[in-house]
Chains A and B, each alone.
Chain A
Amino acid sequence: MIRYAIKRLLLAIPTLFVMLTAIFVLVRLVPGDAAAVILGDQASEASLRALRTTLGLDQPVYMQYLSFIGDVLTGDLGRSLSSGRSVGQEVLLVLPYTIELTLAAIVIGVALGLPLGIATAVRRNGWVDYAGRLISLVGLSFPAFVSGILLLIVFAIQLGWFPVLNSGSSGDPIERLRNLALPAFNLGIIMMAYVVRVTRSSMLGVLGEDYIRTARAKGVRPGRLVIRHALRNGLIPIITVVGLYFGTLIGNSVLTEIIFNRPGLGKLILGALNARDYTLLQGLMIIFAICVIAVNTLTDLAYGLVDPRVKYK
């Protein structure tokens, strides 16, 4: 298991390099003079030159690349052009909100999706199955901002159950929860749709396995059969696919934060886009890349915990 873990961690390093390089190239895709794009048409030649120096744009490309990689490896993600704070600081200010939101969404998505997915597989072609599949398909068809707006209109504006505008960093835990509820539910049901689908197909595969019949032949009753025998085996592909979903979850949380006016990485990105704050944008992408790689690696490690066969490979 330890060897497996080390191997997985080592594999993450080249992936990180590829992502960093891709981000470096992407940022340099800006047509024309980046400094001019950032400062606008009215900028003076002197301020343009100053900005080019700050951004290192006056250096040859390979030097830019080396210093970019060097900075990232030493933990320096650059400085926001608009606020002057370091990207790390900017992110740390809002990160707890995004983590709170995505964790709540994962809990909702798994807590609702896993049982529903299991039920659709066990009651295959019954009404639970059809209902579950329809719910799942509709959920998968919602862009996160569309479902968010509809939730906002119905539950916050029409029914008034939840605040329309996020009241910010209130210390009151009830208020905090009320602010969290709708956005978390929005992200959570979309994730649920996905979990239902993955769980269903995985469980259908497992329930047809020979060892399930063996367990039935032993006198194992349906409840124990599904939980003890099928689910543990079915979880292996579910974990992988849910791990891969993390990228989509991040994307959806950006949209959700914008809709519900929640502080977080999503609002930070939108702010950076509107202010043409390319260094902040680049720093945020690097942070997302690191998060994605970390989650993928963790997923592989979780895989090893669930499947005894992995440890010995």
Chain B
Amino acid sequence: MGAAVSSSPARPGGLWLAFSKNRLSWVGLALLAIIIIVAIFAPLIAPYDPLEQNIVARLEPPSAEFLLGTDSYGRDVLSRLIYGTRISLTVGFIAILIAMTIGSMIGILAGYVGGVFDQIVMGLLDVMLSFPTLLLGLMIAAMLGASLENLIIAIAITEIAPFARIARAPTISLKQRDFVEAGRALGFGPVRIMGVHILPNMISDVVVMSSLWMASAIRTEASLSFIGLGVPPPTPTWGSMIREGFENILDAWWLAVFPSLAILLTVLALNLLGDALRDAIDPKLRAE
């Protein structure tokens, strides 16, 4: 699967054409746009304050007043769901940004230096890659303690290895290419060659994969929050909302169901988008 990533950068025009022809990619894009808008304008959209408790209206089923019902503190589920979008997207986005930066640097360096260094680095990354993401994140989050920053760090660490792999393969093939050779002949230092010549040529591969990995990061965030290692209460997160719904599953199904659907839609949107992008940059698939 990883090998299918093209080593030669795709022309933006061709990429866009291949991407825009895929109908499912538009579904993903539209879903994601809606989710981002909801996150940004949460205070304007949410009907209630997500933290406002209402002892009179506890565990109310969905009604005209509370569209998605209320939780055991009488808080509005819809409002909490809308604010929860912010945590999921923030954690997913920042964690992937960190993982992408560190991972790409490691991958480029390993590919560029090559030899024993490359073998050792890739060996270590393989070990990381084969260790269960959730358990690694769980371990790190448990050791660091539950907070937004630690959650982001934990998830970022779990996603470094795939980015390093993606960045390494094109680096190795680009290293042999004429313009890199020419740069070396002109006396450019390795840092300049890596930064100016190699990085821009492989960035599209890395960025495309990031939407698939962001889906994975959001899944991990929700799972850790569900276990109790996420952003501490009372901040609304989808994972912790499901946790609460799970505790009340026999008498308040709506508590678990709506955040579940929210996670599912977000991850699905990112997967649809990532799939379409990946197909678009894969010249083998594009030819067909």
Q: Provided the pairs A29-B143, A153-B249, A153-B257 are in contact, do residues A273 and B228 lie with their beta carbons within 8 angstroms?
A: yes
CB contacts between A and B, total, < 8 Å: 126
Q: How far is the CB of A145 from chain B (nearest CB, A)?
A: 5
Question: Which of B140, B222, B253 lies in contact with A157, CB distance below 8 A?
Answer: B253
Q: Is A281 an interface residue (CB 8 A)?
A: yes
Q: How far is the CB of B203 from chain A (nearest CB, A)?
A: 25
User: Contact at A30–B249, with CB atoms within 8 Å?
Assistant: no
User: Contact at A137–B271, with CB atoms within 8 Å?
Assistant: yes
Q: Provided the pairs A149-B242, A241-B1 are in contact, do residues A138 and B135 lie with their beta carbons within 8 angstroms?
A: no
Question: Which of B126, B133, B272 lies in contact with A251, CB distance below 8 A?
Answer: B133
A292 to B129, CA, bound (A): 10
Q: Is B256 an interface residue (CB 8 A)?
A: yes
When distances are taken between beta carbons in the complex, the residues of chain B under 8 Å from A31 are 144-145
A30 to B226, CA, bound (A): 21
Q: Is B46 an interface residue (CB 8 A)?
A: no
For the residues of A in contact with B, the DSSP-based class is helix
Q: Provided the pairs A19-B131, A153-B253 are in contact, do residues A29 and B140 lie with their beta carbons within 8 angstroms?
A: yes
User: Contact at A281–B257, with CB atoms within 8 Å?
Assistant: no
Q: Is A99 an interface residue (CB 8 A)?
A: no
Q: Provided the pairs A138-B268, A144-B223, A146-B260 are in contact, do residues A26 and B132 lie with their beta carbons within 8 angstroms?
A: no
When distances are taken between beta carbons in the complex, the residues of chain A under 8 Å from B227 are 255, 258, 270, 273
Closest to B253 in A: A153
Q: Provided the pairs A288-B131, A292-B130 are in contact, do residues A27 and B257 lie with their beta carbons within 8 angstroms?
A: no
Q: How far is the CB of A90 from chain B (nearest CB, A)?
A: 16
User: Contact at A254–B135, with CB atoms within 8 Å?
Assistant: yes
For the residues of B in contact with A, the DSSP-based class is helix
Q: Is B127 an interface residue (CB 8 A)?
A: yes
User: Contact at B250–A157, with CB atoms within 8 Å?
Assistant: yes
A14 to B127, CA, bound (A): 10
A133 to B139, CA, bound (A): 34
User: Contact at B123–A247, with CB atoms within 8 Å?
Assistant: no
When distances are taken between beta carbons in the complex, the residues of chain A under 8 Å from B168 are none
Q: How far is the CB of A72 from chain B (nearest CB, A)?
A: 16
Which 5 A-B residue pairings sit nearest by Cβ, starting from the closest?
A251-B134, A247-B132, A251-B132, A141-B268, A141-B267
Q: Is A259 an interface residue (CB 8 A)?
A: yes
14 contacts between A and B (CB under 8 A): A15-B127, A138-B264, A141-B268, A146-B222, A149-B242, A149-B245, A152-B249, A153-B253, A153-B256, A247-B130, A248-B134, A251-B135, A273-B142, A273-B229
* B236-265 to A contact mask, C-beta < 8 Å, 1/0: 000000100110011001001100100110
Interface residues on A, range: 35 or more
User: Contact at B133–A15, with CB atoms within 8 Å?
Assistant: no
Chain B residues engaging chain A, CB cutoff 8 angstroms: 1, 4, 123-124, 126-135, 138-140, 142-145, 215, 219, 222-223, 226-229, 242, 245-246, 249-250, 253, 256-257, 260, 263-264, 267-268, 271-272, 275
When distances are taken between beta carbons in the complex, the residues of chain A under 8 Å from B264 are 138, 141-142, 146
Q: Provided the pairs A157-B250, A164-B250 are in contact, do residues A288 and B135 lie with their beta carbons within 8 angstroms?
A: yes
Question: Which of B143, B145, B223 lies in contact with A26, CB distance below 8 A?
Answer: B143
A31 to B144, CA, bound (A): 7
When distances are taken between beta carbons in the complex, the residues of chain B under 8 Å from A157 are 249-250, 253
When distances are taken between beta carbons in the complex, the residues of chain A under 8 Å from B4 are 201
Q: Is A296 an interface residue (CB 8 A)?
A: yes
When distances are taken between beta carbons in the complex, the residues of chain B under 8 Å from A293 are 130
Given A149-B242, A201-B4, A248-B133, 18 more A-B residue pairs with CB atoms under 8 Å apart are A14-B123, A18-B124, A26-B140, A29-B143, A137-B268, A137-B271, A137-B272, A141-B271, A143-B267, A145-B222, A145-B223, A145-B242, A145-B246, A146-B222, A157-B249, A157-B253, A248-B132, A269-B135
